[in-house]
A and B are shown apart, each in its own frame.
Chain A
Amino acid sequence: QKEVEQNSGPLSVPEGAIASLNCTYSDRGSQSFFWYRQYSGKSPELIMSIYSNGDKEDGRFTAQLNKASQYVSLLIRDSQPSDSATYLCAVKLGSSNYKLTFGKGTLLTVNP
């Protein structure tokens, strides 16, 4: 089983809609979870981190964590064309003190 898995997409949503991005991870002992956004040819840009079960909201973004199901998601409300990018799920797996393990990313396209 791959350590961090994401649907590669592409996920296409109309402007103003909610985009839902999903990620599963293999290590039940994982404690730190991050969502990054990466525009083509650019570096990962932090969106938010989440450590506890439940929801965490920051502006139009909501991260959701369910450790029992080993699942973390990101909701983007009122999606804008500028949100079109690849969204990377990164997990500090339980076996590591420092290393982030990334998923392959989900390509999101927001259509005007």
Chain B
Amino acid sequence: EPEVTQTPSHQVTQMGQEVILRCVPISNHLYFYWYRQILGQKVEFLVSFYNNEISEKSEIFDDQFSVERPDGSNFTLKIRSTKLEDSAMYFCASSPGWYTDTQYFGPGTRLTVL
């Protein structure tokens, strides 16, 4: 069964550094998403992406964040100048878009900012 994959599984970085989190959505899905979950808190929406542009973003998704689909398979989240409070699990999700809006989540990247 096709799955969303994410790399790396764990990323440790110093405050102020830039990180790129990578995702490979399920093949032939059209909609892509990033969510985050701070330890002990609820899953929060960051951004959705469709047809090579941002379709919706939350107030969390400020100028520090950017997303890109650099090729036909990868979907990336870049966090510039990381802060301590960016430490969280980051989940990528995808949905087909044409017959269901169900979102399927990847295993996540645990980001630790020191």
Q: Report which A residues bind B (CB closer than 8 A).
A: 32, 34, 36, 42-46, 49, 88, 90, 92, 96-105
Q: Are B48 and A102 in contact (CB under 8 A)?
A: no
- Chain B residues in the interface with A (C-beta under 8 A): 31, 33, 35, 41-45, 48, 50, 55-56, 58, 89, 91, 100-108
Chain B interface SS verdict (over half): strand
| Least Cβ–Cβ distance between A74 and chain B, in angstroms | 15
Between A46, A96, A98, A103, the greatest number of chain B beta carbons within 10 A of the residue's beta carbon is seen for: A98
Q: Is the CB of B102 within 8 A of A49?
A: yes
Residues in A neighbouring B104, C-beta threshold 8 A: 46
Q: Which residues of B contact A102 (CB under 8 A)?
A: 42-44
Residues on B with beta carbons closer than 8 Å to the beta carbon of A101: 45
On whether the beta carbons of B56 and A104 are closer than 8 Å, the reply is: no
Starting from the known contacts A44-B105, A104-B42, 20 additional A-B residue pairs (CB-CB under 8 Å) come to: A32-B101, A34-B102, A43-B89, A43-B107, A44-B43, A44-B91, A45-B105, A46-B103, A46-B104, A88-B42, A88-B43, A92-B101, A98-B31, A98-B33, A98-B55, A99-B45, A99-B48, A99-B58, A100-B33, A104-B41
